[in-house]
Copies of this chain bind each other. A is one copy, B any other.
Amino acid sequence: MPNAENRRAARPVRTTRRRPPATIYEVARKAGVSIATVSRVQRRNAPVAEATRARVLRAIDELRYQPSALGRSLAMGRHGATGIVFPDLSGPYYSEVILGFEEQTAAEGKSVLILGTHGRDQATDLVRDLAARVDGLVVMGRTIPDAEVAALEEQHVHVVMLARPPTGGADSIRTENRQSARDLARHLLDHGHRRICFIGDPSSSPDAAERWTGFCEAFAEAGLEPPAAPTVSSFRETDGRRAALAVLGDGEAATDGDTAGGGKKLRADRPTALFCANDEIALGAYGACAELGLRIPDDIAITGWDDIPIARYLTPPLTTVRQPLRELGARAARALLEITAGERNSPIHQVLPTELVVRASCGCERDEGKPDRGGDPN
């Protein structure tokens, strides 16, 4: 057995001599009752005589007793916590989703654990470990393979898929992509553009894949031949810049750090519009155009996706597609809370609508109001 002696003695003195936290036993002894009674006093429902309750309460107060979350969870068989897993945690996308998720979950008195896999190869282990600490978790996109999701469910961890099509018996919450992409591409076609380049990586995420599909469908509907393939780029600004430079410039080395850009030589067959898979890529494209001396939207039209806060402040303001990010997180939370509470035993699948936000970067003149964004709390 773990020797209690050691535990309390060993610590190399932090000036304030702190005694170990009080347990339910100490409270019981001090109040002259059994631990069962102390426990009852804590759980509201149980019947306890007013007098006893008062005594116990006083003991609790004097001992500054705080029940052990561990002991309680073990006894009850539930963690009272949920987790959310993302491939990455940087950027406006995640913070909004997390915000929505946390708000809902905390309101329910549950704790929130977050995990970013950051492309680490032990991602599966990390997720598995997280799963062992929560009653259920939300997994985003292609963070982990389908098989792993199944394994998780096997382990009795309720899981909700975020921005990913249904898998197994898990709930799923996504935003609409295909139709919006089709509308946006159609909009570009209506502007008269014919050589439109899709910048993004359909193989990197379900969302990107659907945007690419919708993009192609717009061409088909217009009786046009869609581009054979997308110009691959991750969802990062620097990568977007590189990709834009590649399709617009004439191949002069466009190294990442090369501020001078690839010179001003432009490709003859360059596209007249760039359909970026997200706003960060569009941001990179803006930079590339600046380097190449291309004016937006006169020389080239650009569209993004997400409507991140920066979008409306760019010059020209970025035409994009807004996703209800916070709502996405909130719904994921609600779904998870429902299943962990056993209120539902058959999976539901939701697809939240997105909204085309037409600004000036596509060639339109329109613009609109101002938003409020949360901020530095200090």
Q: Which residues of A contact B (CB under 8 A)?
A: 1-4, 6-16, 18, 20-21, 64, 66-71, 73-77, 79, 81, 86-96, 98-99, 102-103, 106, 109, 111-116, 118, 126, 128-133, 140-141, 151, 153-156, 163, 169, 204-208, 235-238, 241, 259, 278-280, 283, 287, 305-306, 308-310, 313-315, 324, 327, 342, 345-353, 369-378
Contacts and interface: CB of A to CB of B under 8 A. Distances in A.
Q: How many identical chains are in the complex?
A: 2
Given A14-B346, A126-B106, A205-B378, A155 B91 contact: no
A168 to B, nearest CB: 8
A191 B67 CA distance: 60
Nearest to A346: B10
B112 A106 contact: no
B156 A21 contact: yes
Contacts of A16: 153-154, 169
A126 B314 CA distance: 39
A112 B4 CA distance: 25
Contact of A327 (B2, B6, B207, B373): B2
Contacts of A6: 349-351
B98 A375 contact: no
A376 B12 contact: no
A86 B278 contact: no
A376 B346 contact: no
Contacts of A71: 74
Given A11-B342, A156-B18, A346-B13, A91 B235 contact: no
7 interchain residue pairs of minimum CB distance:
A90-B374, A207-B378, A95-B95, A91-B374, A280-B375, A205-B378, A91-B375
Given A87-B377, A109-B129, A278-B375, 13 more contacts: A2-B75, A2-B350, A2-B353, A12-B342, A68-B74, A81-B133, A89-B98, A106-B118, A141-B377, A208-B378, A235-B378, A280-B373, A310-B310
B111 A133 contact: yes
Contacts of A90: 95-96, 99, 373-375
Contacts of A131: 66
Contacts of A375: 90-93, 235-237, 278-280, 306, 308
Given A64-B155, A102-B89, A376 B235 contact: yes
A94 to B, nearest CB: 7
Contact of A102 (B76, B114, B238, B345): B114
Nearest to A89: B99
A4 B169 CA distance: 20
